[in-house]
Amino acid sequence: MSRTHLTPFEIIPLGGLGEIGMNLMVYGYDDKLLVVDCGLTFPSPETPGVDFIIPDVQFLVENRERVVGFVLTHGHEDHIGAMPYIWPMVEGPIYGTAMTLGLLEGKFREHGLLGQAEMVEVKHRQSLQVGPFNLTFIHVTHSIVDSSALAIRTPLGTVVHTGDFKIDHTPVNERPTDLHSFTSLGEKGVLALLSDSTNINREGSTISEQGISAVFDKIFSRAAGLLVVATFASNIQRIQQAMRAAAVVGRKVILNGRSMISNVQVARSLGYIDIPADILVDIRHFDKYPRNRLLVISTGSQGEPNSSLVRIASGEHQEIDIQPGDMVIFSSRFIPGNERTIWTLINILFKKGAEVIHEKNMPEIHVSGHAPLEDLKLMLAMTKPRFFIPIHGERRHLHSHRDLAVSMGLAPGNALVLENGERAVLERDSLRQEGIIPSGRVFVDGKGVGDVGDIVLRDRKHLSEDGMVVVVLIVEKATGNVLQRPELLTRGVVYADASQVLLEEAKDAVEDALRLGARGMDFSDEEVVGASELAQRAVRRFFKKRLGRRPAVFPLVMEM
């Protein structure tokens, strides 16, 4: 095939660009599509009641016959969490390393999907053909074991997708980032690099995860009461170090949190964690040991509502409590957007009399899983790409990463910043943004997927901010006449027992509206207005005028 007739390579981000989380990248070649990662993100105060958010994959559903497979770089929620919801709509074989597939199997089991999908375990440096894409998984270090970058080869050239990575030369219980493979790819020629941008604004190089061991040893040796370490359930290396430090000071270990227990079980079965003999204790035996001989490793480091650590702090946990003299260690990052909930949790723990250690008062208690500036420079230097697209980050991260690539000698026209839905076309001598693909966010609330939209969220925010009033009208079925004085039920507007005079005045306003009719309440002559509409407008006006509040008003008409 001549150079001039090679099929262009498509790059279609459906999640993870212009935002943190919800990573989903689609690569296209020769009319086939390869899906790389399929993650979720968690709700913010702007999405009340939502459990989590997944990418809109209308494009994949409409082109499902073109999809040759799903490739997963690692097992974090923002990379695999949406799979149980999206895979059934698209289907196709799933490729990943042992730990990644082990975590995914647990999710598929919960959703009744286990056994329906073809899951193909891949080793690092192993190459496999998936449709027109020749893939090689490359080992990288991250805050979860068994993470991978990808070399994606087509006749057009090689595209390197780093996934989430850092360059840790001395990780815990696994191999370091495979610098040799990246360097070898660079020497042979990399057409395009797509690289993690999360920590572009952090100076320096990665601090080794093993450095946490010395920090734990120092802190554990002076802990006088119960010791609690809160970290992510996926951070097997951190859990390993906490267990080793506990063994040194003679503490038993309790794992707290469903995901903590299941992730450790998967890692143990695959040999990614070495648990000292007889150190684990069942949580039901918490009261059988002195508090100063126990370490609890818990989920909930982000202060998530109803998480294990929040229940411990609030006194709602069935087995574990916090007492004066205990120590709680947050061995995790304050994820942007979670600061308020984390500080609230920390304040509750202080009120209980605990000493609390976190990255703000002891930065060395946590090591990030993402590459800082010098690591990102090294990735660019090793791979020497002709073209560059920054991925995994907000727009400020992506632009900073693009500027870094240009400062290292890449032609400005060869570095492109994309956001979700912006399709890029890569050829041997050009990279351009061309066309928009439908993209967006889908809200998952309980068992409902996509049935909560902007209107529902707006109503929820309205209710949470201004409360609600139910107006009960009893009318005669034959005539429509109101038979008795209206009743008002309020929630989140006023305290009814202390506001009886105000509520009686509101009832008077409803009766006046019913007497005045549509014209008296400023409805147009063309509108067909009943008692419920009159009552609703009257209550809205009353509370706006008297209290400056705009509660949601729901009329309830009962016919007799």
Name which of 99, 34, 96, 23 is nearest 60 in CA terms. Answer: 34
Which pLDDT score is estimated for 46?
60
What does each of the 560 residues of the chain score in pLDDT, given as a tens digit?
A: 444 568 999 999 999 999 988 999 999 999 999 999 999 987 655 655 567 889 999 999 999 999 999 999 999 999 999 999 999 999 999 999 999 999 999 999 999 999 999 999 999 999 999 999 999 999 999 999 999 999 999 999 999 999 999 999 999 888 999 999 999 999 999 999 999 999 999 999 998 998 999 999 999 999 999 999 999 999 999 999 999 999 999 999 999 999 999 999 999 999 999 998 899 999 999 999 999 999 999 999 998 878 899 999 999 999 999 999 999 999 998 887 788 899 999 999 999 999 999 999 999 999 999 999 999 999 999 999 999 999 999 999 999 999 999 999 999 999 999 999 999 999 999 999 999 999 988 877 655 565 555 555 565 565 666 788 888 888 777 666 777 888 888 887 777 777 888 888 888 888 888 777 776 666 766 565 677 888 888 888 888 888 887 888 888 877 77
Q: Which residues pair with 150 in a beta bridge?
A: 137, 161
Residue 207 DSSP one-character state: P
pLDDT tens figures, 52-96: 889 999 999 999 999 999 999 999 999 999 999 999 999 999 999
Rg of the chain's alpha carbons, rounded to an integer?
A: 29
Phi, then psi, of 472 in degrees rounded to 5: -100, 120
Token code pair at residue 334: 């304050």
> Any idea what DSSP says for residue 25?
E
CA–CA dist 416, 399 (Å, integer): 9
pTM: predicted TM-score of the whole model, two decimal places:
0.82
Sheet with strand 127-130: strands edge to edge: 127-130, 133-140, 147-154, 157-161, 192-196, 387-391
Give the pLDDT score at 463: 64
Dig out the tokens for 448 from the structure: 């409902």
Look at residue 103 in the predicted model and tell me its pLDDT: 95
Q: Report the C-alpha gap between 166 and 150 in whole angstroms.
A: 15
Kindly list the distances between the CA atom of residue 346 and the CA atoms of 42, 300, 324, 365, in Å, as whole numbers in the listed order: 21, 12, 14, 16
Number of H helices, E strands in the chain: 15, 25
Domains of the chain: 8-204+368-449 (3.60.15.10), 211-365 (3.40.50.10710), 467-559 (3.10.20.580)
Bridge partners (DSSP) listed for residue 36: 25, 71
Cα dist from 66 to 133, 270, 342, whole Å: 13, 34, 44
pLDDT of 480 = 64
The CA distance from 295 to 308, in Å, is 15
Residue 292 carries which side chain, given as an amino acid letter? Answer: N
The predicted pLDDT at position 1 comes to 42
Are 83 and 69 a contacting pair, CB within 8 Å? no
